[in-house]
């Protein structure tokens, strides 16, 4: 969508109902060429915020100037000390530590493509991803070296760089941290990777790399995902995709943030697209201090970190916000500086949103996106007009349509598969044209999510298309059941899925983690009696100590059993 005059804008508001609900300061469209590349974003930050803290982890921080120098050094090393060439894929298999953003921008400065890898992958999963994407080099945390040893000879990986948790923490603290991790906690199983290079050796020569003249169409990231078809593959995200998403964020937040003054909390792993964009890249764009939380599962330590200084921006998924509020130390955290709490990655349950607002005085703003959309596609307004239970409005320069099972567009107000068009939408899956063709209807990316848009342009996600449960011909959506069960005061977490049933084809099965140890199956059924029609009430209710979750804490329904 190009820049519009007033008459064109009025016409568009009739065609695209969400535009009339935009806050006044939000433009309908963005300049898709506002930033020339991701390197442009970092270089500007290094100049504007040179001596300000950029990244902090475990009490150690580096400045924007140092981030620029370290990423330059890493890029130079890749260009001059390896056989790698521009366009090669370099994988990063790290948790949230300082080395991560250094490596991301170093790889990009070297003219190469970043492949993000979940550190918890099994050796078989690593082998498949490295082979599928033809990964030539890998930066991996030593804790996972034992898995790499098993398969590295069967992959295209030629260069291995080993990082440790203490690499960037200074001589004394780094030595102590590494000793504790290796010898006391024994978190580094033995391995043999004799040709591996220590990360420190890649950044000690402070040379400038050969400059790369990027085009917005050049590939920046390959995010591995099952996507909407379930086949693991690499989502191709260009510099233009991510830069467009940054411009969309600029438009959406207006003057909310003060450049060079914000503190960002990053608990979600940056190898996931949500945190990669919303935390890693956005924090640099804002000149913020990005506080990396390496292990948010240690909730006591995580909350202790939040108490150290006021913070202004935090991201999370429903389960993380829920766990935070259910920890006794939550009430000791000062939220007076918080400007934006952003939720994504999975549906934000109404009960969690309401409890957070009551506890902190600030709302959680729910957003929506996928790896294929960089990820931001829609978000609730930040001016107080947000609507709980919705994913907000399509971002500037973004169009939503809704399609039926036959690929025909349904009218606004009727449920359909959400389809997205915008500059943040991927060009396709890496070397999988057949899979790419399956997820596009013309120029519109098919998300696999069923949603409905109201007359004001706010969209409500009903559920994943493939996770819908059909009970005696009736469609049952797990999201609805989960949200209702989560309102029971004795429930900590809940996941719902369909299971085969001889009489009804499928039946609803609920898996619950107790908050109240005295919670019973009957109390759940009594609670649901007046809230759900009988065919929606779970036929099976099972209690679990924990539920299977993804790397960002999203409950994995397919693994519930």
Kindly report, residue by residue over 199-254, the tens digit of the pLDDT. 999 999 999 999 999 999 999 999 998 665 666 789 999 999 999 999 999 999 99
d(CA 450, CA 399): 16
Domain that holds residue 505: 468-559
d(CA 412, CA 401): 8
Same domain flag for 344 and 488: no
What would the mean pLDDT of 7-29 be, rounded to a whole number? 82
Residue (of 78, 260, 62) closest to 167 by Cα position: 62
Give the global pTM: 0.88
Higher pLDDT, 1 or 251: 251
pLDDT at 5: 47
As a dihedral over the C-alpha atoms of residue 422, residue 424, residue 425, residue 426, rounded to 10 degrees, the angle is 150
How big is the chain, counted in residues?
561
Domain boundary among 450, 478, 513: 450
Burial of 165 (0-12, 13-18, 19+ CB in 10 A): buried
**Which tokens sit at 145?**
């070296």
Residues in Cβ contact with 111 at an 8 Å cutoff, skipping those fewer than 6 apart:
79, 85, 86, 87, 210, 212
Domain assignment present for residue 18? The answer is no
Q: Given a cut of 50, is residue 59 above it in pLDDT?
A: yes
pLDDT at 530: 87
520: CATH:
3.30.300.30
Domain boundary among 450, 480, 508: 450
Please count the CA atoms within 13 angstroms of the CA of 334 that sit on its side-chain side.
8
Q: Are 400 and 391 in contact (CB under 8 A)?
A: no
What is the 8-class DSSP label of residue 183?
I
Domain assignment present for residue 22? The answer is no
d(CA 489, CA 379): 29
Q: Given a cut of 70, is residue 330 above it in pLDDT?
A: yes
Domain assignment present for residue 144? The answer is yes
Predicted confidence band at 552 (pLDDT cuts at 50, 70, 90)? confident
End-to-end CA distance of the chain: 46
Same domain flag for 337 and 424: yes
Same domain flag for 344 and 472: no
Please state the domain count of the chain.
2
Q: Given a cut of 70, is residue 296 above it in pLDDT?
A: yes
Domain assignment present for residue 457? The answer is no
Relative to beta strand 340-343, strand 313-316 is parallel
Phi, psi (deg, nearest 5) at residue 196: -70, 145
pLDDT at 3: 44
**Which tokens sit at 512?**
């619950």
What would the mean pLDDT of 404-433 be, rounded to a whole number? 95
Residue 48 DSSP SS3: helix
Same domain flag for 491 and 372: no
Domain assignment present for residue 1? The answer is no
Q: Are 522 and 478 in contact (CB under 8 A)?
A: no
Residue (of 393, 390, 358, 369) closest to 379 by Cα position: 393
What would the mean pLDDT of 111-118 be, rounded to a whole number? 96
d(CA 170, CA 251): 39
Domain boundary among 450, 479, 505: 450
Name all contacts of 327-332 with Cβ < 8 Å and 24+ positions apart: 327/299, 327/300, 327/303, 329/299, 329/300, 329/303, 329/304, 330/303, 330/359, 331/359, 332/303, 332/307
**Which tokens sit at 206?**
């402070």
443: CATH:
3.40.50.12780
Q: Are 402 and 412 in contact (CB under 8 A)?
A: yes
Same domain flag for 289 and 166: yes
What would the mean pLDDT of 392-404 be, rounded to a whole number? 97
Same domain flag for 228 and 317: yes
**What letters, b where the CB count within 10 A reaches 16 and e where it falls short, cover 501-528?**
beebebbbbbbbbeeeeebeeeebeebb
pLDDT at 225: 82
Residues in Cβ contact with 326 at an 8 Å cutoff, skipping those fewer than 6 apart:
492, 515
Same domain flag for 248 and 313: yes
Domain assignment present for residue 13? The answer is no
Q: Are 270 and 118 in contact (CB under 8 A)?
A: no
Q: Are 276 and 116 in contact (CB under 8 A)?
A: yes
Same domain flag for 435 and 472: no
Peptide bond preceding 18: is omega within 30 degrees of 0, i.e. cis?
Answer: no
Predicted confidence band at 503 (pLDDT cuts at 50, 70, 90)? confident
d(CA 87, CA 110): 9
Residue (of 561, 528, 527, 557) closest to 544 by Cα position: 561
Relative to beta strand 263-266, strand 313-316 is parallel
d(CA 435, CA 420): 17
Same domain flag for 406 and 476: no
Same domain flag for 506 and 424: no
Phi, psi (deg, nearest 5) at residue 27: -75, 150
Same domain flag for 442 and 473: no
Same domain flag for 357 and 477: no
**Which tokens sit at 225?**
């995902």
Domain assignment present for residue 3? The answer is no
Higher pLDDT, 263 or 480: 263
Q: Given a cut of 90, is residue 97 above it in pLDDT?
A: yes
Q: Given a cut of 90, is residue 485 above it in pLDDT?
A: yes
E strands within 406-466? 416-421, 428-429, 440-441, 444-453, 459-464
Domain assignment present for residue 346? The answer is yes
């Amino acid at each position: 969508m190009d820049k519009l005059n007033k008459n064109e804008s009025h016409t568009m508001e009739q065609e695209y109902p969400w535009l009339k609900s935009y806050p006044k300061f939000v433009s309908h469209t963005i300049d898709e060429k506002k930033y020339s590349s991701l390197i442009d974003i970092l270089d500007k930050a290094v100049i504007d915020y040179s001596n300000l803290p950029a990244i902090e982890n475990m009490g150690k921080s580096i400045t924007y100037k140092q981030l620029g120098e370290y990423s330059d050094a890493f890029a130079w090393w890749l260009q001059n000390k390896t056989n790698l060439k521009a366009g090669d894929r370099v994988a990063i298999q790290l948790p949230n530590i300082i080395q991560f953003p250094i490596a991301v921008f170093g790889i990009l400065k070297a003219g190469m493509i970043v492949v993000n890898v979940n550190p918890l992958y099994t050796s078989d999963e690593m082998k498949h991803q490295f082979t599928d994407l033809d990964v030539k080099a890998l930066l991996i945390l030593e804790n996972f070296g034992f898995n790499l040893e098993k398969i590295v000879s069967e992959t295209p990986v030629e260069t291995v760089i080993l990082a440790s948790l203490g690499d960037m923490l200074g001589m004394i603290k780094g030595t102590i941290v590494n000793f504790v991790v290796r010898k006391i906690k024994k978190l580094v199983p033995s391995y043999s990777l004799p040709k591996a290079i220590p990360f420190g050796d890649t950044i000690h020569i402070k040379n400038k790399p050969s400059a790369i003249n990027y085009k917005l169409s050049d590939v920046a990231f390959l995010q591995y995902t099952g996507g909407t078809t379930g086949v693991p593959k690499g989502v191709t995200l260009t510099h233009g995709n991510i830069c467009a998403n940054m411009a969309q964020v600029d438009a959406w937040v207006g003057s909310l943030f003060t450049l060079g003054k914000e503190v960002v909390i990053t608990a979600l792993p940056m190898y996931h697209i949500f945190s990669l964009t919303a935390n890693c890249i956005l924090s640099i764009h804002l000149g913020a201090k990005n506080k990396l939380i390496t292990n948010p599962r240690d909730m006591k330590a995580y909350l202790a970190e939040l108490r150290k200084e006021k913070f202004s921006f935090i991201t999370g998924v429903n389960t993380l916000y829920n766990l935070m509020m259910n920890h006794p130390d939550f009430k000791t955290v000062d939220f007076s500086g918080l400007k934006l709490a952003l939720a994504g990655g999975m549906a934000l349950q109404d009960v969690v949103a309401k409890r957070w607002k009551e506890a902190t005085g600030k709302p959680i703003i729910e957003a929506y996106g996928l790896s294929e959309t960089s990820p931001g596609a829609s978000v609730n307004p930040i001016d107080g007009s947000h609507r709980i239970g919705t994913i907000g409005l399509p971002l500037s320069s973004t169009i939503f349509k809704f399609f039926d099972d036959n690929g025909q567009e349904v009218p606004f107000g009727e449920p359909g598969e959400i389809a997205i068009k915008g500059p943040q939408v991927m060009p396709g899956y890496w070397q999988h044209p057949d899979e790419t063709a399956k997820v596009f209807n013309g120029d519109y990316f098919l998300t696999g999510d069923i949603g409905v848009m109201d007359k004001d342009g706010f969209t409500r996600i009903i559920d994943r298309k493939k996770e819908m449960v059909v009970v005696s011909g009736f469609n049952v959506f797990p999201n609805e059941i989960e949200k209702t069960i989560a309102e029971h005061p004795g429930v900590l977490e809940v996941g719902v899925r369909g299971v085969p049933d001889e009489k009804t084809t499928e039946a609803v099965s609920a898996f619950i983690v107790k908050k109240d140890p005295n919670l019973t199956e009957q109390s759940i059924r009594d609670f649901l009696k007046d809230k759900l029609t009988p065919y929606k009430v779970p036929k099976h209710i099972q209690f679990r100590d924990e539920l299977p979750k993804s790397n960002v804490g999203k409950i994995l329904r397919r693994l519930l059993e």
